[in-house]
């Protein structure tokens, strides 16, 4: 049992290190900004980048592993990312998620700073998100002063009440920046790239047509269901 757990921990550290290096190579981050975590929810494990370590020096042995349920460090000697409590809240509340990425990427952060949802202005957006990319409410002063990173996670979870987070690539935290998720760490990095492109595309669209409305509901659903769910016909059949 201990050996099995050990293997799961080591595999997760390797995958999370790779995903952090992929993020660093993506151009979405600047200096030490940003972090990626990966989870093995059945094993109650989350692995995350250590705080403030330059990406060019990052190795699997630097990755910190924690128990999702308790938040206790299981493996690693460095201090985990200061955003760790936010990642934990997301894994605890959203089922089916195996990776979370946080960046301060330019356009997604600009929308987050504007405290605005990114409207679905076209089919590129609809291919990835069944509605606007949502922005959380702002935290109140009490939430900022005590357990700030926990409350950041809680306003994310609150925003998806009654919604399926898997229909979205991620979320914008008001006055802060994007968190994205996916089936594993690498998939959450991919969604960080997608979200940045959608944010930039929406900004450029708004400059041409400042009062534009979201696309028709029928078009939104058509494109989302073309790629997602039982009727999807984009890409190759899965058994190919």
In angstroms, what is the minimal distance from the CB of 103 to its own copies? 10
Marked catalytic residue, from 44, 75, 117, 127:
127
What's the N-to-C CA distance of the chain in angstroms? 36
Among 15, 28, 65, 107, binds its own copies (CB under 8 A): 107
Tell me the three state secondary structure of residue 27: coil
Query: Strands 73-75 and 64-67, how do they pair?
Result: antiparallel
Q: Which string of x and - marks every residue 42-81 that binds its own copies (by CB under 8 A)?
A: --------xxxx------------------------xx--
Q: What are phi and psi of 158, to 5 degrees?
A: -55, -40
The token pair that represents 219 in the structure block: 């078009």
| All residues at 6 or more sequence positions from 238 whose CB lies less than 8 Å from its CB, including other chains | none
Note the Cα 11 to chain centre separation in Å.
20
Distance CA(149)–CA(38), nearest Å, equals 18
> Is residue 218 part of the contact set for its own copies (CB under 8 A)?
yes
CA distances 98 to 77, 188, 200, 204, Å, are 23, 8, 26, 32
Among 8, 21, 73, 106, binds its own copies (CB under 8 A): 106
> Is residue 145 part of the contact set for its own copies (CB under 8 A)?
yes
Nearer to its own copies, 21 or 205 (CB): 205
234 among known catalytic residues:
yes
Positions in the binding site for its own copies (CB under 8 A): 30-33, 50-53, 78-79, 82, 104, 106-107, 109-116, 121-124, 138-139, 141, 144-145, 148, 175-177, 190, 193-194, 197, 200-201, 203-209, 212, 215-216, 218-219, 222, 226, 233-237, 240
Q: Which residues are catalytic?
A: 127, 234
């Amino acid at each position: 049992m201990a050996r099995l757990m050990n293997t799961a921990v080591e595999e997760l550290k390797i995958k999370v290190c790779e995903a952090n290096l992929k993020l660093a190579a993506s151009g979405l981050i600047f200096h030490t900004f940003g972090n990626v975590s990966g989870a093995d929810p059945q094993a109650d494990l989350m692995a995350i980048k250590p705080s403030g370590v330059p990406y060019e020096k990052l190795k699997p042995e630097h990755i910190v592993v924690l128990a999702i349920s308790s938040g206790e460090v299981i493996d690693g000697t460095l201090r985990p990312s200061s955003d760790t409590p936010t990642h934990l809240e997301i894994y605890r509340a959203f089922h089916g998620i195996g990776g979370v990425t946080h960046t301060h990427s330019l356009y997604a952060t600009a929308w987050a700073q504007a405290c605005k949802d990114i409207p679905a202005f076209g089919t590129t957006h609809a291919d990835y998100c069944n509605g606007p990319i949502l922005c959380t409410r702002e935290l109140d002063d009490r939430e900022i002063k005590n357990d700030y990173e926990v409350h950041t996670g809680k306003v994310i979870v609150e925003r998806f009440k009654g919604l399926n987070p898997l229909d979205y690539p991620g979320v914008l935290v008001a006055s802060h920046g994007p968190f994205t998720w996916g089936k594993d760490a690498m998939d959450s990095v991919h969604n960080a790239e997608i979200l940045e492109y959608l944010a930039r595309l929406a900004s450029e669209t708004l400059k041409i047509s400042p009062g534009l409305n979201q696309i028709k509901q029928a078009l939104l659903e058509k494109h989302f269901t073309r790629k997602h769910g039982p009727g999807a016909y984009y890409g190759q059949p899965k058994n190919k």
